[in-house]
Amino acid sequence: MLTFSRGLETPGIAMRSNLTPADAGLKTEPAEAPVQPVRRLRIMMIENDRADAALALREVRRAGFAFQADIVQTQKELNRRLDLDSYDVILSDYRLEGWTGIDALAQVRQRGIDIPFIMVTGSLGEESAVECMRQGASDYIVKEHLSRLPLALARAVEENSVRKARVRAEAVLRLTLEALQAAANGIVIADRSGTIVWVNAACGALTGYSPDELIGHNPRIFKSGRHDESFYRELWTTITNGGVWRGEVVNRRKNGSLYTEEMTITSVRDAHGGITNFIAVKQDITERKQTEDQIREWNARLEQRVAERTAELARANLKLESEVVERKMAEEALDRLQQQSVLILNAAADGIFRVDLDGKCQFVNHAAAHMLGYEPGDLIGQHLHTLIRHRLPDGLPCSWDECGIHQALALGVSRKSEGHIVQRKDGTSFIVDESITPVSEKDQVAGAVIMFRDVSKQKAMEKMKDEFVSVVSHELRTPLTAIRAALGLLAADDTAGRPARARRLLEIAINNAKRLVHLVNDILDDARLDSAHVSLARRVCTAAELIQQAVDLMRPMAESANVRLKAEAGPVELTVDPDAILQTLTNLLSNAIKFSPRGSIVCVEARQEEENGVFRVIDQGPGIPPEKQQTIFRRFQPVDASDSRRRGGTGLGLSICRRIVRHHGGGIWVESRPGRGSTFVFTVPLGQPGTEPPDRRRRKDDDVSPFY
């Protein structure tokens, strides 16, 4: 602060030693006072009269001012000097040549230069003096009282200095205020009682209150209720003790919404150290808090996700481990299964091969290797068809194209062949029945499994049986037929006049011969039908003609049993072996007549039902108990053995019927209730093509069995 009131100690402007302050009538500081650095006062003297100028400056010098003065006489010079230099004070005569001190003053002020301007004039009327002051002169001195000049000069310089300092201070204050106003942080200034005295614009934006609504109020207006009293007490204690309080506060806006601010409260002290004000700087950190909360939440979520993922991974790991264990167990189970399968396959009596798409052996069981006379290892990778020198049943070589293995692989369908001939390692042969099944992998044929059975012995047995049948048929049946015929002739000869006993014996012999012939025929038929290779001599015929023939054949028997035969046939056309079907019908009719009470009716009928020809033989006999209705179709299974013998059965009739029907692809059964008669039913599929076997014609012409 500049003070000229007590002396001329303008900072940087010192008195020269050759001019004492006493000369100027001014008080001086004690001699031992520190001498300030000398700065010359820069004086502009506007004066046309040099003598007057010297006089004035002498007064100044006498007052102890060190100075450097420039004398200016014209306006032009004034401007030039103002351009070149800066001055601490301008002394100007009022009356100048061609212009006035007022002009000079105006010129200086026009240029916006704020330096003390003292008018020094010979005489100045009151009006002129007022005008000078009005124009901004700092003072005016009448030349007659030049001794006042130093004091006026000192005062003007000091006042100017003070004013400039104030202007500077005001500018700083303005800037500060503007800065505070423009600050992004809310700023609240309160007095020491806590009453708000100033707020900036940001505070308004932050709280929603206008400055008018805040100034004069207490900051408790912002209270949100989120903090307890101890919180505010601690804050107040801190700042009233002169400390700085820093913290986060949840406040309430004017509109009721809450926000979080970071607040710093500083106390302001006066020159005596007493607290005069508090300045609170507030920053809205709601967003930051939200962001922090969000980040915390994200972190928590992330951690949760990580934990979940870790748990998932752990679970996946466990699953994987258990899957590995399971897979291992499955593999072991598969291994065991494979071993078991191999054991089973090796234990099988039939030969089993598996071949790849090229027909090369991939697997062979022990039975197959044994049958062919190889070690299993010798057969792996071998082309089976070539190795076994496959031949057809007639002994001719079987080409690869004809081979069932090739067909199964090429067409993807199962094949069966019977009686084919294969060769062992040692060159001997045997006959096989085989079934070949293609094996698919991913819907593609990948190979085939061949199962075969050595049927050489079976074939030999069949051959033996055929030979036996042939022998029996010729060696037993022929003499029996002759015996029966002879006995018949004997019985027919009435002229012999035999005694009654002889006639009875003859009758017994004839009956037994008949039974024997019947039994032999049945045994032969049964044996022949037992073979899987029965060939049927199929041809087209109608059910009506078959029924009619059967009825015609059985009529004598029916008449002697006093049973009426009734035939009913629909328009059914069949492709069957007529002799075989006729034999079936006569067997059933024979049984029906045998078991019918005298005077009853046996009905035989045929009709088409769906794709079958259906035959029924219906009697009014004793019926068959349910538990016997299945067994009677087996050999020698009468319902009642003594009754059957009495009625003269062989025990093979129904068994033969079943075989015939089955060879035709049909079925046979009985529908019966004891005491309510029996209905024997058999079906024959319609329209089956057939071939005529050569030996069947021979049997048809046989005189012993007209029924095949």
- Give me the least distance between CB of 594 and ligand ADP, in Å please: 7
Contact call for residues 368 and 355 (beta carbons, < 8 A): no
| Nearer CB in complex with ligand ADP: 186/622 | 622
DSSP 563: -
| Nearer CB in complex with ligand ADP: 563/592 | 592
* The amino acid at 318: L
| Nearer CB in complex with ligand ADP: 128/583 | 583
C-alpha 86/C-alpha 520 separation (Å) is 166
| Nearer CB in complex with ligand ADP: 60/592 | 592
| Nearer CB in complex with ligand ADP: 648/665 | 648
Which two three-digit tokens encode residue 211? Answer: 């400055």
Instruction: From 103, 590, 110, 158, select the one nearest 119 (Cα to Cα).
Output: 103
Q: Kindly report the three-state secondary structure assignment for every residue of 157-222.
A: HHHHHHHHHHHHHHHHHHHHHHHHHHCCCEEEEEECCCCEEEECHHHHHHHCCCHHHHCCCCHHHH
C-alpha 284/C-alpha 202 separation (Å) is 10
- Give me the least distance between CB of 438 and ligand ADP, in Å please: 43
Which two three-digit tokens encode residue 232? Answer: 């505010």
Sheet holding 678-685, edge to edge: 564-569, 601-609, 612-618, 678-685, 668-672
C-alpha 364/C-alpha 628 separation (Å) is 46
> How many residues are there in the chain?
708
For tokens 């949100």, the residue is 224
- Give me the least distance between CB of 657 and ligand ADP, in Å please: 8
C-alpha 435/C-alpha 450 separation (Å) is 6
Contact call for residues 389 and 424 (beta carbons, < 8 A): no
Residue 105, C-beta contacts closer than 8 angstroms, at least 6 positions apart: 92, 117, 119, 132, 135, 136, 137
- Give me the least distance between CB of 607 and ligand ADP, in Å please: 20
- Give me the least distance between CB of 601 and ligand ADP, in Å please: 13
- Measured from each CB, the residue nearest to ligand ADP is 649
282 to 156, 216, 275, 291, 580: CA distances (angstroms): 46, 19, 20, 18, 119
Neighbours of 446 (CB within 10 A): 15
Q: Give the 3-state secondary structure of residue 568.
A: strand
| Nearer CB in complex with ligand ADP: 64/677 | 677
| Nearer CB in complex with ligand ADP: 279/639 | 639
- Give me the least distance between CB of 688 and ligand ADP, in Å please: 26
Binding residues for ligand ADP, rule: CB under 6 A, are 591-592, 595, 619, 621-622, 624, 632, 638-640, 644, 649-655, 678
C-alpha 137/C-alpha 128 separation (Å) is 11
- Give me the least distance between CB of 528 and ligand ADP, in Å please: 17
* The amino acid at 337: L
C-alpha 277/C-alpha 219 separation (Å) is 13
Contact call for residues 253 and 157 (beta carbons, < 8 A): no
| Nearer CB in complex with ligand ADP: 45/654 | 654
| Nearer CB in complex with ligand ADP: 403/563 | 563
| Nearer CB in complex with ligand ADP: 207/655 | 655
- Give me the least distance between CB of 661 and ligand ADP, in Å please: 13
| Nearer CB in complex with ligand ADP: 155/663 | 663
- Give me the least distance between CB of 448 and ligand ADP, in Å please: 44
| Nearer CB in complex with ligand ADP: 360/616 | 616
| Nearer CB in complex with ligand ADP: 323/640 | 640
- Give me the least distance between CB of 632 and ligand ADP, in Å please: 4
Phi-psi region of 365 (alpha: psi -120 to 50; beta: other; left: phi over 0): beta
| Phi, psi dihedrals of residue 210, rounded to the nearest 5° | -80, 160
- Give me the least distance between CB of 579 and ligand ADP, in Å please: 18
C-alpha 548/C-alpha 597 separation (Å) is 23
- Give me the least distance between CB of 624 and ligand ADP, in Å please: 5
Contact call for residues 404 and 436 (beta carbons, < 8 A): yes
- Give me the least distance between CB of 462 and ligand ADP, in Å please: 24
